[in-house]
């Protein structure tokens, strides 16, 4: 900018700004087009700048967002609900993709931990009002993936006994344990139909994956809750030709 223009700007600031504003309003389309073109031409630079600025002002931005959300909670929730009602499918698709991100997972776990009682009540209420539907859904889900339900049941048993690992082990962990043993009973080698706690829960065994092995129904009932120590288990398995 030339010195003359700078001086003019300083003395006629209001007029200049007003003129600029007028020009922008009168040529809105043209201005927007030019802006978009400039942004596209310098996209990488602009994005880098924005990222840097976001990183520096992260706390400030989050605080502002939080405030804005709290002030407009009703409107925002209403809009979200309306969008979901119109096009739930695309929202669900987006969320599914988003859910795999670690950050979201952490947030969700936090929410579950903070609102356990509220969630439980909400679910109970839903089940009561959708009774038949829930039973039908549960039946269908069970037939599709029974191992999930077996895992949940095993966890419930473990929790009743206040076993360590009850909150840790998932159906996937159990599936991996089964795969290690080729889905065969670890004692006799028959097709496994249950999950065994090698050191029984009743004897203080844990529900961590390391204590879980696939077992057949017959061996499971024979073994029961007997526990004579690790050496006994190893001998038991070696006598059957199993390798631990």
148, 188, 194, 242: residue in contact with Zn ion (rule CB under 5 A): 188
User: Looking at 158, 187, 198, 212, which residue binds Zn ion (CB under 5 A)?
Assistant: 187
Cα gap 149→133, rounded to integer Å: 18
Nearer to Zn ion, 160 or 179 (CB): 179
d(CA 159, CA 139): 24
Rounded Cα–Cα distance for residues 135 and 122 (Å): 17
Q: Which residues contact 170 (CB under 8 A, 6 or more apart)?
A: 151
Q: How far is the CB of 189 from Zn ion (least distance, A)?
A: 7
- State how far Cα 151 lies from the chain centre: 19
What gap in Å lies between CA 244 and CA 237, rounded to an integer? 7
Q: How far is the CB of 200 from Zn ion (least distance, A)?
A: 16
Min dist CB 185 to Zn ion, Å, is: 3
Q: What angle do CA 69, 72, 73 make, to 5 degrees?
A: 70
Q: Which is nearer to Zn ion, 201 or 219 (CB)?
A: 219
The smaller minimum CB distance to Zn ion, of residues 16 and 237, is found at 237
Nearer to Zn ion, 151 or 187 (CB): 187
Q: Which of 154, 185, 201, 233 binds Zn ion (CB under 5 A)?
A: 185
Handedness of CA 107, 110, 114, 119 (dihedral sign): positive
Binding residue count for Zn ion, defined by CB under 5 A: 6
Contacts with Zn ion, 138-177, as mask; x by CB under 5 A: ----------------------------------------
Q: Report yes or no: 35 and 46 within 8 Å, Cβ to Cβ.
A: no
Work out how close the CB of 196 gets to Zn ion at its nearest, in angstroms, rounded to a whole number. 9
Q: How far is the CB of 83 from Zn ion (least distance, A)?
A: 54
* Region near Zn ion per CB under 5 A, out of 107-115, 136-144, 185-193, 205-213: 185-193
* 178, 221 contact by CB (below 8 A): no
Is residue 169 a contact partner of residue 155, using CB atoms and an 8 Å limit?
A: yes
- Determine the 3-state secondary structure of 187 from DSSP: coil
Helix (H, G, I), strand (E, B) or coil at 194: strand
Q: Which stretch binds Zn ion (CB under 5 A): 27-35, 87-95, 162-170, 188-196?
A: 188-196
Contact positions with Zn ion (CB under 5 A) in 197-226 = 216, 219
What is the contact surface with Zn ion in residues (CB under 5 A)? 185, 187-188, 190, 216, 219
């Amino acid at each position: 900018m030339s010195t003359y223009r700078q001086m003019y700007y300083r003395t006629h600031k209001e007029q200049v700004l007003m003129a600029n504003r007028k020009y922008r309003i009168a040529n809105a389309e043209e201005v927007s087009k030019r802006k978009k073109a400039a942004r596209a031409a310098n996209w990488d630079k602009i994005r880098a700048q924005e990222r840097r600025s976001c990183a520096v002002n992260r706390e400030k931005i989050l605080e502002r967002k939080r405030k804005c959300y709290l002030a407009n909670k009703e409107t925002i929730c209403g809009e979200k609900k309306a969008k979901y009602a119109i096009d739930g499918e695309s929202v669900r698709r987006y969320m599914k993709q988003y859910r795999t991100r670690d950050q979201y997972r952490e947030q969700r776990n936090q929410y579950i931990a903070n609102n356990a009682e509220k969630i439980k009540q909400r679910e109970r209420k839903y089940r009561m009002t959708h009774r038949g539907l829930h039973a039908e859904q549960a039946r269908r889900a069970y037939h599709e993936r029974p191992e999930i339900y077996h895992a949940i049941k095993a966890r419930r048993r473990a929790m009743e006994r206040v076993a360590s690992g009850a909150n840790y082990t998932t159906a996937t962990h159990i599936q991996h344990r089964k795969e290690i043993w080729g889905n065969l009973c670890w004692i006799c080698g028959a097709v496994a139909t249950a999950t065994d706690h090698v050191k029984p829960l009743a004897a203080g065994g844990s529900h961590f994956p390391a204590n879980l092995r696939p077992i057949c129904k017959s061996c499971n009932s024979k073994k029961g809750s007997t526990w004579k120590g690790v050496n006994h288990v190893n001998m038991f398995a070696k006598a059957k030709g199993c390798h631990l």
